Structure 1
Amino acid sequence: MTTSETSAQTASDRLAAPGVEHGWMQPLLGNWTVAMRVWPGLGAEPFSIPGMTAERHLILGGRYLRETLIGGDGVTVREATLGYNRLEGRFELVTVDSYEPGQMIYTGRGDETPELLPLHGISIEAGMGPEPTGRKRDLRFDFAVHGPDSNSQRIHVRYPGGASYLFVEQVFTRQG
């Protein structure tokens, strides 16, 4: 690229292009078998959701990682998009799933390591009973890379005035 081409590039063009930070997503790419456990409350015993798989690939020229989580019946249960916002200097994750009525939005705080990417968000709980609870909750979504063929996602929940606890754990094992 010549000097004139570089100077003609807009800030938006430069900052939208993948940077070194996007390399964090490389170990997450591929097709995965997923072991999922859910803890319905603080101190509760977890239950498992069997037969899940996931597909992850880069979209929009390598800017974002798209994850599709598929239930044992072959139906998609979650779509997620992870990217690095070079303007704000943070990772951002947006998820939509068949478990909650709204989008979940998480942002990083610049405390990622090569093995761990913690993201933070806030949501209003619908609840597991017949009526919505409407409780606000703080969420921490941790991506952890355990090696080239294994990674995990853990979602921790904390309600106002309460202790944080592990709510969802998904362990991804590379297929093939």
Structure 2
Amino acid sequence: MLTRLLATTVALTLTLLASCASAPASPEVPTLVRNGLPGPAHQRLQPLIGEWEVEMRTFIAGGTPEKPLVAKDVKGTRRWVEGTGGRHLQEELTGTFNGGPYYRLGWLAHANMAKQYEFVTIDALNAAMMSYHGPSDNGSAELNMTGEFVDQGVLGDAYIGKTIRMRTVIRFETPDRQVIDLLFTPPGEPERLADRKTYTRR
């Protein structure tokens, strides 16, 4: 009886070992793929997703600090770009501004290896692509990104051809409201508020 039990135990053990040996191993995610996976820094952008009413106040290009140009009919849509697996966010704004059509398209992402956010926009006024980058700062209630551009005249004729430093600040006030400030620093001058957009979820 003992011999038969021992034989049965050995047989079951050999069967289990053979099964484990023949089962395919779980494929390991390559480092280059793992380094590009979305993480907490991408999840931080999730509150931006959705449909938005946007109020724009512009303090340049015809507006002033005392009397900004105001647009209240701008609509915004933000979504994760299809096919990139939650890595890149796209924003599209449409409406009217200062008596004419307004359009802007932008992309926001987090570069994992550089540990920074990257933001690029195009619009119906500027021939250049506006590009910003800023640190992750996962514990902060805002995103702060900087860049520079060569002015085609948005600050006035005196600035045409000059390199202007710029800064975009995205403030997450509530899950249904954000405020985005665009600030310019002309050469030899203090930083000034150029544009403020207030987003309210539809």
Q: Map 1:1-176 onto structure 2 (within 5 A).
A: 5-6=27-28, 9-11=30-32, 13-40=33-60, 43=65, 45-59=67-81, 60-72=84-96, 77-111=103-137, 113-128=139-154, 133-175=160-202
CA distance in 2, matches of 1:90, 1:123: 20
CA distance in 2, matches of 1:95, 1:76: 13
CA distance in 1, matches of 2:133, 2:186: 18
Taking a change above 3 Å as real, the CA distance of residues 114 and 87 of structure 1, as seen in their structure-2 partners, is same
Please, what TM-score do these two structures have when normalized by structure 2?
0.77
Q: Residues 99-121 of structure 1: CA distance to partner in whole angstroms, max 9, x if unpaired?
A: 21110110013445442000000
- Alignment partner of 1:51: what SS? strand
What is the root-mean-square deviation in Å for CA atoms of aligned residues?
Answer: 2.5
CA distance in 1, matches of 2:25, 2:96: 53
Q: Residues 65-110 of structure 1: CA distance to partner in whole angstroms, max 9, x if unpaired?
A: 100011149x661111000000111000011111211101100134
Letter in 1 for 2:50: G
Letter in 2 for 1:140: R
Letter in 1 for 2:123: D
Structure 2: where are the runs of 5+ without partners? 1-23
Q: Which has the higher contact order (CA 8 A, sep 6+)?
A: 1
Structure with the higher fraction of residues in strand conformation? 1
Structure with the higher fraction of residues in helix conformation? 2
Please, what TM-score do these two structures have when normalized by structure 1?
0.87
- Alignment partner of 2:44: what SS? helix
Taking a change above 3 Å as real, the CA distance of residues 53 and 3 of structure 1, as seen in their structure-2 partners, is farther
CA contact (8 A) 2:80 2:90 kept: yes
Aligned length: 172
- Alignment partner of 1:62: what SS? coil
CA contact (8 A) 2:41 2:138 kept: no
Query: Equivalent pairs: percent with the same residue?
Result: 27
Q: Residues 51-70 of structure 1: CA distance to partner in whole angstroms, max 9, x if unpaired?
A: 10100001111001100011
Letter in 2 for 1:89: K
Structure 1: where are the runs of 5+ without partners? none
